[in-house]
Structure 1
Amino acid sequence: MTWKEAYPDIPLGQDACGIIAMAEKSGKPSHRIVRRTLESLYRMAHRAGAIRGEGDGTGIQTDIPRELWARFLEEAGLDPELAFNPRFFVGHFFLPKTEAGRLEEFQELLRREGQPLGVRPVHFRLGEVVSEVLGPVGRRTEPIFLQVAGLSPDGDAPLWELGLRLEASFPVHVVSLSTYSVVYKVRGAAELLKRYYPELSRPEFKSTIALGHNRYSTNTLSTFEQVQPFGLLGHNGEINTIERLRREMDYLGIPRTGGSDSQDLNRMLEGLIYRYGLSLPEAMDLVFPPVLGEVKGLPPELQDLYLALRQRFGPLAQGPAAIVSRHRDEAVFATDAMGLRPLWQLETPYEIVFSSERGVFSAEEFVTEPKPLAPGEKVYLRLTPEGPKVYPFDRHQRLVLERIAARTPVAGYRVHLSGPIRQAPPPVAGGSEPQVE
């Protein structure tokens, strides 16, 4: 039975990008998670734009497929056990085909820039792709897909800094560079992803969680580089305050990407995590704090927390948006304050799912009633060896309070709810009233 048959009076919704996140309930890596995420993207193909009959783009973020990389290393004459080292990293890079003659130069640059950071690459390979499945526009903009494996001295922070240096000094796009995740993306329709990257179909390709994204470009051109997901997130919507966010990035010393609003949002969150030491839940609440109307109904200690965040940082990412995000063993799923982009929480016998549409599965597959996230709601998920643990919004807020309060005092900030505590500055010269951004 389809969702339309089971619930004929409830619209499925077909607006904007399609996003999905799926976590394996057993806690063990499986190929099923990868396959089911790809199938769900096919079923949300209507949530993707098309130019000249070609899709705007589709992508997937997964765990590093360590069994697969053990085989790659063995084929290269290297120790396959290296793939299971917690310091092992995999990098995916897009280089313009016009730079095909400079591959060795790029590899040397990566070694040279990585050395002072303690990053040691051990294997370079051209990733397997099937260019014939692309349409004419996709082929014209198709990049070289380079894969790099190696060892990081301390998690992903040195890798993030390395990626910034590489993009600043070479015409390269860092698709992903991490000790825990990889990203595959293509300029085309959802059904092309598995066909373009054959390794996604290999049974050794296993993951405990996957994020998927179908792109519907509304105000930027479609390129391989702008397809999502990025290193941390998949984003459906627009950031209406993007210039304010970008100015704050400049102030914090986090380089802009020069790309879309979603790319800069991802870059801001990465900077907060890798340069300023925040966790993913903290970074998400810092950039997406609740609106004041919601804050007024919270307990006093949470009012202190969110007024402290708004006073010190401000609501920098406002606009219609739904987000699926993941960093290491933590994931956060969120909707905008007005609930203008849908996100559903679903559960099947094998997966915990967050999706733009509940219709990606048949009604018989659900073990609980699908639940739409409320406007401004966030759900926190932690990956554990026993399986994912899901925490509702109030538990997410308490977690953020504990972590932020351990870093800096937040008590007393709720005084700002009563109104300005200082006299407002005079109007801008020549203006007829105070100017509000």
Structure 2
Amino acid sequence: MTPKAGLYDPLYEHDACGLGFVARIDGRPTRETVEQGLEVLHNLEHRGTTGSDPETGDGAGILTQIPDGFFRRECAGLGIELPGAGGYGVGVLFESGGAGESDCGGRLAEICAEEGQELLGFREVPVEPGAVGEVARSVMPRIRQFFVGRRGGDEMAFERKLYVIRRRLHKETEDSQGCYVVSLSSRTVIYKGLLKGRQLARFYPDLGDANFASAISLVHERFSTNTLGSWELAHPYRFIAHNGEINTIKGNVNWMRARESRLRSELFGEDLGKLSPVIAPGQSDSAAFDNALELLHLAGRSLPHAVAMMIPEAWENDDLMDPDRRAFYQYHSALMEPWDGPAAVAFTDGRLVGATLDRNGLRPARYSVTKDGRVVMASEDGALRIPAEEVVERWRLRPGKMLVVDTERQELLHDEDVKRPLLGRRPYREWLDKGEIHLSQMPEPDTSTRPEPATLLQRQRAFGYTIEDQRIILAPMAQNGKEPDGSMGTDTPLAVLSERPQLLFSYFKQHFAQVTNPPIDPLREELVMSLNMSLGPEQNLFDETPEHCRRVLIDQPVLTAVELEKIR
């Protein structure tokens, strides 16, 4: 990733892109699924962009199931003996130091041994540098694949061990030796880079091999709106591809960091301490989202469950929502705040593949289902040419809703099918009725010993109101019932630096645009807007107990003096 320099800071990475997937409901790996995924990617190229070099894109990539037959043939030629399917993991490594300058492989072998797994060997990934632009070529990393054999445990336990190995290697070598693990899984493999969509298959000849087959192909074309492109920041990540922005990302990352001390997991055991920090520093919002989703899933929740926690529907003001569904979201809001912002997210663990939209539905996602059992989802309709007579269902994802293909059970699941099993996992409504209390229901405070209230003038001066505020802002609002209009330059210092008393509101600044596209009015869009919060101690994020929702609900984060007395 590009390091922090001047006014650029990787913490503010956002992008707006094109994404899609092709999946077979019957779970049968085919060459056609990979080719169609690449076709979708090619047709979404206009949703990406380039810089001064017209042949260097912002990033493109594809995630597929592990093509066992292909890797078995390739490894046999290298003298690497692979266990049976599912008994080994495939990793993809970007080494920015170049051949001979990095010891990623040496440290990786040590970590695998320390974690009780076996590093079987490495494979240099064939690439065609002439297929990409000059800028992309100048910063191209060395690209290798490695294979890790499973020693005991079931498949999910192995996935958790691979996760631990990847996180340890990242923490110990990325800064010093430029080691970036693109993916490491016994289920999926990723091919990506600083490319344009049409360049991906030419740059990676593997993707054109007749033996490279999968039942899932998830693709992404990146458009970085206010960032610099890099090989690492291309999508897909290990579990997701994302179009949009997570506007709450700073708060989300800080909350995940604050919760780490409370995390306990029987599944991870002592390995949990090796994962900190859960959100790797210096990443984009999409990568941070992927880090959190990965942890929630590997710690025991299903992938749709974890996604529903992080991107909930607009439940707060929807009086028509099913009470059980509302209780599910209300309970989980006590565990984790939403990762909010305009977003379309496609996700997969190599068995399930699906997509969801943010609560406002501000990014497009269309899907088609064919007679032969294919599901095609993309940022726009027509990304894959399908004759009309072959389509049995064509629609769009709705705000907060989810679509999932389960290739193991051979099912296409719409939102109701996905979430119905989640609603009954625990008695959420019962726990909420007994545990949560609204601030308005709490006893009124004893005001008999309160000091005499200050005069209005004293209060106005203490809180930073000026004569100009009264004359220009407050008076027109009182007289006309609407916000005053005006325009002039301002040289007002930051509130924190001012020597004069300031309004409380002046100390707050937004981290994203006040003018949204499309425009959103919190009054007209009341159904999807909420300032509701809950107060109470944080619990273990991996558990679900009645204690998690023993909290006080408030309507907004700014409390009056009387409300503060109630809480005391």
Structure 2 match to 1:10: none
- Does the 8 A contact of 1:175 with 1:183 survive in 2? yes
Deviations 1:216-270 (A, max 9, x none): 1012211000000000010000000001111122124313242110000001101
26 and 299 in structure 1: CA distance in 2 versus 1, 3 angstrom threshold: closer
| Higher RCO (CA-CA < 8 Å; seq separation 6+) | 1
- Does the 8 A contact of 1:113 with 1:162 survive in 2? yes
Structure 1 match to 2:563: none
262 and 417 in structure 1: CA distance in 2 versus 1, 3 angstrom threshold: farther
Matches within 5 A, 1:169-188: 169-170=172-173, 171-188=178-195
Question: Any idea what SS the aligned residue of 1:191 has?
Answer: helix
Instruction: Kindly indicate whether residue 408 of structure 2 is the aligned counterpart of residue 384 of structure 1.
Output: yes
In the alignment, the residues of structure 1 paired with residue 211 and residue 293 of structure 2 have an alpha-carbon distance, to the nearest angstrom, of: 31
Question: Any idea what SS the aligned residue of 1:55 has?
Answer: coil
**Larger CA deviation: 150-159 vs 263-272:** 150-159
Instruction: Kindly indicate whether residue 204 of structure 2 is the aligned counterpart of residue 200 of structure 1.
Output: no
The structure with more radius of gyration: 2
Shift of 1:381: 2.2
Between the two proteins, the alignment pairs up a number of residues equal to 409
Shift of 1:211: 0.5
Of 159, 162, 175, the match for 1:159: 162
Structure 2 match to 1:338: 360
Structure 2 match to 1:296: 319
The residue type paired with residue 285 of structure 2 is: D
Runs of 4+ in 1 over 4 A off after TM superposition: 414-425, 429-437
Question: Any idea what SS the aligned residue of 1:155 has?
Answer: helix
Structure 2 match to 1:125: 123
Question: Any idea what SS the aligned residue of 2:20 has?
Answer: strand
Question: Any idea what SS the aligned residue of 2:138 has?
Answer: helix
Of 308, 318, 339, the match for 1:285: 308
Percent identity of the aligned residues?
28
Shift of 1:165: 0.8
In the alignment, the residues of structure 2 paired with residue 226 and residue 423 of structure 1 have an alpha-carbon distance, to the nearest angstrom, of: 52
Of 254, 262, 265, the match for 2:286: 262
Question: Any idea what SS the aligned residue of 1:381 has?
Answer: strand
Shift of 1:295: 5.0
The residue type paired with residue 414 of structure 2 is: P
In the alignment, the residues of structure 1 paired with residue 85 and residue 172 of structure 2 have an alpha-carbon distance, to the nearest angstrom, of: 30
In the alignment, the residues of structure 2 paired with residue 400 and residue 257 of structure 1 have an alpha-carbon distance, to the nearest angstrom, of: 32
Question: Any idea what SS the aligned residue of 1:59 has?
Answer: strand
Of 402, 411, 417, the match for 1:395: 417
- Does the 8 A contact of 1:220 with 1:260 survive in 2? no
Of 432, 444, 450, the match for 1:413: 432
Shift of 1:303: 2.0
291 and 421 in structure 1: CA distance in 2 versus 1, 3 angstrom threshold: farther
In the alignment, the residues of structure 2 paired with residue 75 and residue 402 of structure 1 have an alpha-carbon distance, to the nearest angstrom, of: 51
Instruction: Kindly indicate whether residue 297 of structure 2 is the aligned counterpart of residue 273 of structure 1.
Output: yes
Structure 1 match to 2:347: 325
Question: Any idea what SS the aligned residue of 1:247 has?
Answer: helix
In the alignment, the residues of structure 1 paired with residue 117 and residue 245 of structure 2 have an alpha-carbon distance, to the nearest angstrom, of: 35
In the alignment, the residues of structure 1 paired with residue 233 and residue 371 of structure 2 have an alpha-carbon distance, to the nearest angstrom, of: 34
- Does the 8 A contact of 2:34 with 2:217 survive in 1? yes
424 and 291 in structure 1: CA distance in 2 versus 1, 3 angstrom threshold: farther
Deviations 1:364-420 (A, max 9, x none): 2441242011111112221127xx3111111222122234x2xx8553426869776
378 and 422 in structure 1: CA distance in 2 versus 1, 3 angstrom threshold: farther
87 and 299 in structure 1: CA distance in 2 versus 1, 3 angstrom threshold: same
In the alignment, the residues of structure 2 paired with residue 410 and residue 332 of structure 1 have an alpha-carbon distance, to the nearest angstrom, of: 27
Question: Any idea what SS the aligned residue of 1:313 has?
Answer: coil
Matches within 5 A, 1:5-404: 16-52=16-52, 53=54, 54-79=56-81, 82=83, 84-96=84-96, 98-103=97-102, 105-153=103-151, 154-170=157-173, 171-253=178-260, 254-274=278-298, 276-293=299-316, 295-315=318-338, 317-350=339-372, 351-362=374-385, 364-365=387-388, 366-384=390-408, 388-403=410-425
In the alignment, the residues of structure 2 paired with residue 35 and residue 294 of structure 1 have an alpha-carbon distance, to the nearest angstrom, of: 44
309 and 135 in structure 1: CA distance in 2 versus 1, 3 angstrom threshold: same
Structure 1 match to 2:509: none
Shift of 1:214: 0.4
- Does the 8 A contact of 1:234 with 1:324 survive in 2? yes
In the alignment, the residues of structure 2 paired with residue 204 and residue 363 of structure 1 have an alpha-carbon distance, to the nearest angstrom, of: 24
Structure 1 match to 2:519: none
420 and 304 in structure 1: CA distance in 2 versus 1, 3 angstrom threshold: farther
Question: Any idea what SS the aligned residue of 1:167 has?
Answer: helix
Q: State the TM-score, normalizing by the size of structure 1.
A: 0.87
- Does the 8 A contact of 1:48 with 1:55 survive in 2? yes
Gaps of 5+ in 1: 1-14
Deviations 1:184-221 (A, max 9, x none): 00212111100000010001000011100000101221
Structure 1 match to 2:541: none
Deviations 1:76-111 (A, max 9, x none): 22335x2x3322110001010x342244x3222111
- Does the 8 A contact of 2:402 with 2:414 survive in 1? yes
In the alignment, the residues of structure 2 paired with residue 419 and residue 199 of structure 1 have an alpha-carbon distance, to the nearest angstrom, of: 60
Question: Any idea what SS the aligned residue of 2:92 has?
Answer: strand
In the alignment, the residues of structure 1 paired with residue 337 and residue 198 of structure 2 have an alpha-carbon distance, to the nearest angstrom, of: 40
421 and 287 in structure 1: CA distance in 2 versus 1, 3 angstrom threshold: farther
Question: Any idea what SS the aligned residue of 1:89 has?
Answer: strand
Question: Any idea what SS the aligned residue of 1:220 has?
Answer: coil
Q: State the TM-score, normalizing by the size of structure 2.
A: 0.68
